[in-house]
Homo-oligomer: A and B are copies of this chain.
């Protein structure tokens, strides 16, 4: 039995998403894992930083490369609660992240619609992990905002 499975790490990304929710940010969280170790945690901060590029994945990538002192994240896995957008997918591609795991699909802004070939050609993608929790966070947030 491996305690460090996709669900384990997605729960950590969900914990980040809940921090975003507490800060009135769109509740998306991301973590980056290298050899079963979490090397970066981040959540969406577009409101706080008033910066449309401050998505969870972007902040996690910048934090991870800084933590490793390397420009590439080959061999690392990114867990993110919602499907990455075009921008983040491009960043994931540049960082050469090997495995991308996301929870909820984003049918309006997701990379799979706009830039399906943004990742490294050998990258592995898994999705739907704790999907209901990831979706519920988003739906509750936007329901409250209306």
Contact = CB atoms under 8 A, between A and B. Distances in A.
Interface in A44-72: 46-47, 50-53, 58, 61-62, 65-66, 69-72
A117 B109 CA distance: 11
Nearest to A118: B86
A117 B85 CA distance: 12
Contacts of A8: none
Given A50-B70, A71-B51, A90 B115 contact: yes
Interface stretch (A17-25, A91-99, A123-131): A91-99
A14 interface: no
A138 interface: no
Given A90-B115, A114-B118, 5 more contacts: A50-B65, A52-B61, A87-B89, A87-B118, A89-B90
